[in-house]
Amino acid sequence: MATTSVPRVRVPAQAKAGDIIEIKTLISHDMESGQRKAADGKTIPRQIINKFSATFNGKTVFEADWYTSISANPYQSFFYKVKETGEFKFVWKDDNGSEYTAASKLTVA
Amino acid sequence: MASGDRFCSRRRALQLAFAASAGLILAPRFALADANAVADEIKKLYGDKKATDGKIKLDVPQIAENGLVVPVSIDVESPMSADDYVKAVHVFADGNPLPQVFSFRFTPECGKASASTRMRLAQTQNILCIAEMSNGTLYSAKAEVKVTIGGCGG
Amino acid sequence: MISRRQFLQATAAACALVTGSGMGSLGRVAAQQRLTQADITRFDPLGTVTILHVTDIHAHLKPIYFREPALNLGVGPEKGQPPHLTDQAFRDYFKIASGSADAYALTADDFVQLAKNYGKMGGMDRVATLLKAVRAERGDDKVLLLDGGDTWQGSWTSLKTEAADMVEVMEALKVDAMTSHWEFTLGEKRVKEIVEKSPIAFLAQNIRSKEWQEEVFPASKIFEKGGVKIAVIGQAMPRTAIANPNWMFPDWEFGLREDEMQKEVDKARAAGAAIVVLLSHNGVDTDKKMVSRVKGIDICLTAHTHDAMPGVLKVGDTAVICSGSHGKFVSRLDIEVKDRRVSGIRYKLMPVFSDAIAPDPAMSALIDKWRKPYEAELGRVVGHTQSLLYRRGNFNGTFDDLICQSMLSERDAEISISPGFRWGPNLLPGDPITFEAITNASAMTYPNCYRNQMTGEQLKLILEDVADNIFHPDPYFQGGGDMVRVGGLGYTIDVSKPVNQRISGLTHLKSGKPIEASKTYVVAGWASVNKDTQGPPIWEVIEKHVARIKTVNLTENTSVVVKGV
């Protein structure tokens, strides 16, 4: 990786119970497919983020498995049906074992 | 506009769709997946179980603006209640080096079975989507995405 | 010596054959031996709302000659349907007499003779006069003026001023809203800078920020005219990021976005709109398909493909309006509303005959102001033409032939390729070729004329790919425009075949030998969408060529054989 992976998320800070809100996430990552060769002819090893997951107050909301066809700097959006005040946690798992995380608070008005 | 070097570089960019940064040379052409490879992957997941058309809205552009970043959204019709929801959605591309693109796993917490991401497409090809409902029923949808050099006159 | 206006009035007398023409009363006017501004603006008003539409002006402030196409093939369900009608078929469909003012404005045959009789068309000072006349008749509070886009590009002054000339002119015309396509070739920053300052609403429901998929411009705006709420939804050219250099607007994504369009229509109705207008830059075929699938659009003001139709095209309950290009026409639509629904539409395509319309002095002064710093270079005579130089036609145009020949000779290439642009006015036989005339067909922000090596296989792939953008039977896969023009190369095209099976018989014209798939050829071209394309701007290449040969005299281009029509 040329740069450190930085996650960014867009979640409304406030919502009403029963609202279905959209969560948008982005993370900087090359998503190296393992199908390119460097100038020396050697294959550049695959290194992608292979899993994304979102939980709210510890409970799983949404998960995605990503393969090599996912674009660099992967984007993921999904929805959540608001129940209570709490916190989203987002986790991205890298092929190399690293985990990148982000969190976001939601207040039910 | 449709000019030659655009074309060549786009084709090359597409060949390079998985190899597009400086200091790297064009990889020899990798074998691309085909419809059979996609069928094999689905078989691995669900055996011989049949999927019916419907319930899924697979939203991809008719024509990709950039083969490296093609938006893909899916939206599956479902009440998303505790006992009737969409469990998983799998998307495949039959013209990429590997057929799998992504698998999404939904929960009733989502409120609706709708999600978006972005994918790389090496060439004009079919995108196939399978949705697994909580009762085990399978649905499918298919769409073609054209990868072109464009052509403009207006 | 008689003036152009006298001549125009005199020659109109020769056209007594005209029956009920599609342009309204011009046929009868001709019989009365006069063609005046009043005849052009004459309209039996209806309802309380008037919508005026101009589009694809391509920055032409001054009157021009512009020949409509002699060949405009439709494919699939659009075969033989308007706008895919030319010459006699067009005149038959719209009941226009040969030799009439309408025939001159709308069809291609006998163009040179008719151009001498009827003179140039367009000019923003004439357009201003027409708009003022309609506003005076109806009252400003009843009139909505909409611009379909491709307004800011196409002339030397718009290129040099980064469209400041066009923006000021369109603001002075009191345009209410616009949508866009070539505007984006000024780059993201300049477009934003103009839009932020301008009172003209810049609408586009189909552009999203790449990063977060958010709206970049407002999708729609609700206007109130004649006591009626009118929603205008903008649709930018859906393929801008493919057809034009997307590095100039790297953060924006386009596309058709049919579902979102339906949502906008529904939103507009919910907000109380009695009239829903789609101000589109999709192109006619794409718009016809879109309004057949999106429910609730009353009026679709189409653009992009430059078609001019002197009648309304009905698609289900939607009226599709085609207002032409280059300032040649202004469309007027009067709309009657009952119980918050459209109950009647009356339409006229007003032709802007520059010799029959008095220029608006304030607008003339504004145009002069913007042209003044460039007058010397614009007026520079480079050579002359003995041939009619025009752009439109599915496979070639004589102006394109000149451009292709310029590239072959000045860039020492075996083959040249030039985009099938539909913009760029005409020169008549005997006309001087000024620098302005050259830039009218070439002024753009990515003009570099490259010189590359390409294999025969690559050349064929280019032709196939572009052909599929024009002759794909599904309009949602069409890009608008015409086939890429070629110099030094001949080929056969079967428009009825699918992609990769249309093109055959590629021939290197100079040697008469077939193009070999694996052989490499030196190819010159321009308007590449690639960043950092090397080479002189195309207008320099054309100017050098014209200056050298002095007189342009083109023979008929027979290098493309068309099948499957």
Provide the shortest C-alpha distance from residue B153 to chain A (in Å).
Answer: 31
In chain A, whose CA is at the least distance from the CA of B96? A69
pLDDT the model gives residue A35: 83
What pLDDT was estimated at residue C30?
A: 46
Q: Which chains touch C (3 or more CB pairs under 8 A)?
A: A, B
> Cβ(C435)–Cβ(C155) under 8 Å?
no
Mean predicted confidence (pLDDT) in C242-271:
95
Q: How far is C247 from chain A (nearest CA, A)?
A: 18
Which chain A residues contact residue C212 at CB under 8 A?
10, 24, 26
pLDDT digits (tens, 9 = 90+) for A16-58: 999 999 999 999 999 999 988 888 888 899 999 999 999 999 9
Q: Band of the pLDDT at C80, cuts 50, 70, 90?
A: very high
Give C405-422 pLDDT, tens digit per residue: 999 999 999 999 999 999
Q: Does the beta-carbon distance from C243 to B151 stay under 8 Å? A: yes
Residue C429 DSSP symbol: T
Q: DSSP assignment, residue C215?
A: B
Nearest-Cα distance to chain C for B58, in Å, is 12
ipTM for this model: 0.93
Residue C281 with chain B: CB contacts under 8 Å = 154
- Give the pLDDT confidence score for residue B149 in this predicted structure: 63
Find chain A residues with C-beta within 8 A of B69's C-beta: 71
State how far the Cα of A58 lies from the Cα of A81, in Å rounded to an integer.
Answer: 15
C211 touches chain A (CB under 8 A): yes
Question: Does residue C506 carry a pLDDT above 50?
Answer: yes
Closest Cα in chain A, distance from residue B4 (Å) = 25
Of B92-101, C165-174, C272-281, the range with the lowest mean pLDDT is B92-101
**Lowest-pLDDT choice from A46-50, C22-26, C94-98:** C22-26
Minimal C-alpha gap between A106 and chain B (Å):
15
- How many residues belong to chain C? 565
- pLDDT 10s digits, B18-51: 222 222 323 334 467 788 899 999 999 999 999 9
Task: Please tell me if residue B69 touches chain A, with a CB cutoff of 8 Å.
Answer: yes
pLDDT at B133 over 90: yes
Residues 79-118 of B with CB under 8 A from A: 80, 93, 96-98, 100-112, 114-118
Which residue, among B78, B81, B109, would best test binding to A if mutated, counting the most A CBs under 10 Å from its CB?
A: B109
Q: A11, A28, A71, A75: best mutation site toward chain C, by most C Cβ within 10 Å?
A: A75
CA–CA separation, C80 and C73 (whole Å): 8
Q: pLDDT grade, residue B122 (50/70/90)? A: confident
Q: How far is it, in rounded angstroms, from Cα C516 to Cα C506?
A: 8
Predicted confidence (pLDDT) at residue C54 exceeds the cutoff of 80: yes
- Per-residue confidence (pLDDT) for residue C34, from 0 to 100: 61
Question: Across the interface, do A33 and B97 touch by the CB < 8 Å criterion?
Answer: yes
User: In whole angstroms, what is the distance from residue C233 CA to residue C204 CA?
Assistant: 7
Q: Are strands A20-27 and A75-81 parallel, antiparallel or unpaired?
A: antiparallel
**What average pLDDT is seen over chain C?**
93
Of B62, B151, B154, the CB nearest to C283: B154
C308-326 pLDDT, tens digit each:
999 999 999 999 999 999 9
B70 CB within 8 Å of a chain A CB: yes
Distance of residue B104 Cα from the nearest chain C Cα, in angstroms: 19
Say yes or no for a CB contact (<8 Å) between C421 and B152: yes
- How does residue C139 score in pLDDT terms, banded at 50, 70 and 90? very high
- Closest-CA residue to C119 (of C63, C57, C62, C35): C63
CB of A72 less than 8 A from some CB of C: no
The domains found in chain A, sorted by start residue, are 7-108 (2.60.40.10)
Residues C122, C131: Cα–Cα separation, whole Å:
13
Contacts of B119 (CB under 8 A, 6+ apart): A69, A70, A71, B70, B72, B91, B93, B101, B102
Query: What is the residue whose two structure tokens read 């008689």?
Result: C2
Is residue C557 pLDDT above 90, yes or no?
Answer: yes
Structural domains of chain B sorted by starting position, each given as residue range(s) with its CATH number in brackets: 32-147 (2.60.40.2470)
**Residues 6 or more apart in contact with residue C456 via CB below 8 angstroms:** C506, C515, C516, C517, C518, C519, C521
pLDDT of residue B27: 32
Phi and psi angles of residue C240, each rounded to the nearest 5 degrees, phi first? -55, -40
Q: Are strands C329-338 and C49-54 parallel, antiparallel or unpaired?
A: antiparallel
DSSP at C140: G
Q: From CA C233, how far away is CA C218, in angstroms rounded?
A: 9
Report which of residues A88 and C21 the model is more confident about: A88
Q: C512 touching A, CB under 8 A? A: no
- Among A37, A72, A75, beta carbon nearest to B25: A37
- What pLDDT, on a 0 to 100 scale, did the predictor assign at position C288? 97
**pLDDT the model gives residue B31:** 63
User: Cβ(B11)–Cβ(C530) under 8 Å?
Assistant: no
* Interchain contact, C470 vs B69, CB within 8 Å: no
Upstream peptide bond of A7 is cis (omega within 30 degrees of 0): no
In this structure, the number of other CB atoms found within 10 A of the CB of residue C17 comes to: 12
Q: What is the pLDDT of residue A3?
A: 58
Give CA–CA dist B128/B130, Å, rounded: 7
Which residue of A lies nearest to C213 if distances are taken between CA atoms? A24
Task: Give the chain C residue whose CA is nearest to the CA of B63.
Answer: C477
* Chain A touched by B19 (CB under 8 Å): yes
Among partner residues B6, B61, B69, which is closest to C530 by beta-carbon distance?
B6
Task: Residue B106: list chain A partners with CB under 8 A.
Answer: 62, 78
C213·A77 Cβ contact <8 A: yes
C93 CB contacts (<8 Å, ≥6 apart)? C82, C85
Question: Which residues of chain C are within 8 Å of residue A10 when distances are taken between CB atoms?
Answer: 212
**pTM for the model:** 0.90
Pull the structure tokens for residue C371.
Answer: 């042209």
- Contact residues, chain B to chain C, C-beta under 8 Å: 1-9, 11, 59, 61-63, 65-66, 69, 71, 116, 146, 148-154
Residue B11 pLDDT grade (very low, low, confident, very high; cuts 50, 70, 90): very low
Average pLDDT over every residue of C390-404: 96
CB contacts, 8 Å: B9 with chain C: 530
* Percentage of chain C lying above the pLDDT 70 cut: 94
- Nearest chain B Cα distance for residue C231, angstroms: 26
Sign of the torsion formed by the C-alpha atoms of C71, C72, C75 and C79: negative
Residue bearing tokens 């699918």? C498
pLDDT of residue C530: 87
pLDDT bin (cut points 50, 70, 90) of residue B2 is very low
Interchain proximity C450–B153, CB inside 8 Å: no
B/C interface, count of CB pairs below 8 Å: 134
Sort out which chain A residues have CB atoms less than 8 A from C253's CB and list them. Answer: none
Distance CA C77, CA C285 (A): 10
Go through chain B and tell me how many residues it has. Answer: 154
Q: How many interface pairs between A and B have CB atoms less than 8 angstroms apart?
A: 117
